[in-house]
Structure 1
Amino acid sequence: MDQFLDTSQLLGFMDLSGFGASATGLEYGVLGNMIQTTTPPPPPPLPATSQPESEKPSNKKRNSSTTSLQYRKRNKTPADVYEQVNQPFNYAQGFHYLIQYVRERMSSDDLMRISRALALFRPSFLALIMNLTEEDLVFMEKCVQRTLLEYEKLISFSGTPTVVWRRTGEICLVGKEFSLLTQWPRDTLLNTTTYIYELMDNGSAVEYWEKFSLHAFDSTDKTCTHSCILRTPTQKPVPCTFCFTIKRDIFDLPSVIVGNFLPLLS
């Protein structure tokens, strides 16, 4: 019976014209589309001799917007951030890719679990974004870029493999230790639009979204800890223990997530 969960009855689906900014309405609508699509056809089986992920014809061209590496090169000082950031970030595009990724790469059970996870935080998300204006969203993006400047310094002093990503999972910063751990070059991850769940196996990605949804809108900066399996460019598994902390902006929305990974050597 759970297989036919009608999430639209749990959450409702509202007219998106009531939002203060079109970008927030679009992001909310894409989340709704993900939640209400819980019975996709099973993904096609992968061939036995599939290419390594790093060599596959990439769907990274899906995002024509500015990459994280371009942001970092453009915004090197606080003055750069305040002067050059003049439009909101397109979060809807990231959630749209999540839908595409799950449908193509995961089972219907995994899709159901991720849909349930998104359903948990969607009402709280709606309450916070309903009245945000375009100017609010630009201000939020300035804050994100300003925060990343500070995190970039901190990561350079840390010896722990660290990644920072947005609420959609899009990677913003990569520490050199993470590249050593996973063999993913920093520029490869930042010069194309890459999502943290793309570097995990399916089970770890599903567990991440379930844990994220539980803490995305609680009142603390609680650190969530669990294990995960990362994948190298040649698809070699890297078992890790993994913790992440959700950082919120002035409007109490999840802004960036700071993740730390340590290899399990047993």
Structure 2
Amino acid sequence: MSSDSRQRILNVMGTFRPTFRDVAQSLTDIDLILVEESFERLLLDYDRVFSAMAIPACLWRRTGEIYKGNKEFADLINVPFDKLRDGQLCIYEIMAEDSIVNYWEKYGNIAFDPKQKAVLTSCLLNYQLQPDEEPPRKRKNIAMSCCFSFTVRRDKFNM
């Protein structure tokens, strides 16, 4: 990632980091446990949603780690379905650099604004090509243009 892109992302994070830090530091251990339990219930709710719809979808934490995805999403980016669980892959790992910056800028605009919760945007996704040649671990990416929306689900602390 270029230093300009990295700086733009850091600038965005700098706008919401103080608010996030203030709220996070005020949480008790019980609060943190309740937030995690709520997230686990959300994952269970989305099991039904993702299995009932035939469009690519995934759910990720505010840090970008994907914790649930459906088969259609795995097929879209050509990664094993199991890779879309437990934070093994981050949403920004599958986007082109300009799209990553755009995502963080849009996320920063709505992260702590309770009047906004969803964004419709476009991006370039990296479709993972599995090469037949050696070495087998080397992967090539093809950028694929797509539109997507993301919704910020706030917890009881409005985060």
User: Shorter-chain TM-score: what band?
Assistant: 0.7 to 0.9
Q: Quote how far apart the aligned CAs of 1:124 are.
A: 2.0
The secondary structure found in structure 2 opposite 1:247 is coil
Residue of structure 1 in register with 2:158 after alignment: 252
Q: Percentage identity across aligned positions?
A: 40
Q: Is the 8 A contact 2:67 2:86 kept in 1?
A: no
Greater shift, 134-143 or 187-196, is seen at 187-196
Name the residue aligned to 1:198: 93
What value does the CA root-mean-square deviation take over the aligned residues?
1.5
Q: Which has the higher strand share?
A: 2
Shift of 1:192: 6.4
Q: TM-score, normalised by structure 1?
A: 0.53
**Aligned partners of 1:219, 1:187: CA distance in 2, in Å?**
33
The separation in 1 between residues aligned to 2:29 and 2:87, in whole angstroms, is 26
Q: Where in structure 2 are the equivalents of 1:1-40 lying within 5 Å?
A: none
Q: What per-residue deviation string (whole Å, max 9, x for no partner) do you get for residues 63-93 of structure 1?
A: xxxxxxxxxxxxxxxxxxxxxxxxxxxxxxx
Query: Which of structures 1 and 2 has the bigger CA Rg?
Result: 1
> After TM superposition, which residue ranges in structure 1, 4 or more long, deviate above 4 angstroms?
none
Q: Which of residues 198, 217, 236 in structure 1 aligns to 2:142? A: 236
Alignment pair present for 1:123 and 2:18: yes
Distance 1:192 1:174 in 2: 11
Rate the CA distance shift 1:225–1:240 in 2: closer, same or farther, 3 A.
same
CA displacement at 1:238 relative to structure 2: 1.5
Aligned position for 1:153: 48
Task: Verify the 8 A CA contact 1:228 1:240 in the aligned structure 2.
Answer: yes
SS, match of residue 40 in structure 2: helix
Aligned with residue 182 of structure 1, among 77, 80, 93: 77
* 8 A contact 2:56–2:70 mirrored in 1: yes
Quote the residue 1:87 is aligned against: none
Gaps of 5+ in 1: 1-105, 254-266
1:28-69 Cα shifts (integer Å, max 9, x gaps): xxxxxxxxxxxxxxxxxxxxxxxxxxxxxxxxxxxxxxxxxx
